[in-house]
Amino acid sequence: MRLELKRELSELQSIVAATAAFFAEHGIDTGLRNVVDLATEELFVNMVLHNTETTADILLEMRPLGAGVEVSLTDFDVDRFDPTRFQPVDIDAPAEERTPGGLGLFLVSKMVDAMTYQYKERQSKMTFQVGQG
């Protein structure tokens, strides 16, 4: 599955619909949906909010992998920004010291089976796998 996405949060609806159709078409365990939806949203939103130097569409790709799925998001004509090198979140800190910043990428790192980052010719590509373990 390949889907070109405008740099708008309203595209989240399109992502959810396309992911549901992809899971149904390939018979993938729907129990994996929430993790895939979460990781895809967090990485897409991260690109939209942080890679503001481009207006190009973001490419979402999804393919079956074993009993699960591999998802990639590619952002074009952007500076290097590696989401796998996020600041750690102190989940034991009291509420007064907690901030929402960095929570999304932290959650993705905890919930997917694997996550990689590639940067080449000003293209930033995040890939993650779910349902491999």
Partner 1 sequence: MMFSVDQNDSGAVRLSGRLDAASAREAERVLDEAAGECVIDMTELEYISSAGLGVLLRTHKRLLSDGGIRLVGVSPHIRDIFKYSGFDKLFPIEAA
Kindly indicate which of the ranges 19-27, 41-49, 62-70, 113-121 contains the residues binding partner 1, using the contact rule CB under 8 A: 41-49
| 11-26 helix and 33-50 helix, angle to the nearest 10 degrees | 150
**CA dist 69 → 3, 26, 39, 120 (Å):** 16, 10, 12, 24
Q: How many residues bind partner 1 (CB under 8 A)?
A: 28
Distance of CA 26 to the CA centre of its chain: 20
**Given the complex with partner 1, which of 92 and 121 has the nearer CB atom?**
92
Q: Is 107 in the site for partner 1 (CB under 8 A)?
A: yes
Site string for partner 1, 8-37 (x = CB under 8 A): -xx-xx--x-----------------x--x
Taken in order 59, 109, 8, 34, is the CA torsion positive or negative? positive
| Whether 108 contacts 43, CB under 8 Å | yes
**Given the complex with partner 1, which of 84 and 118 has the nearer CB atom?**
84
> Shortest approach of partner 1 to residue 110 CB, angstroms?
5
Distance CA 9, CA 120 (A): 26
Report the interface residues with partner 1, using CB under 8 A.
Answer: 9-10, 12-13, 16, 34, 37-38, 41-42, 45, 89-96, 98-100, 103-104, 106-107, 110-111
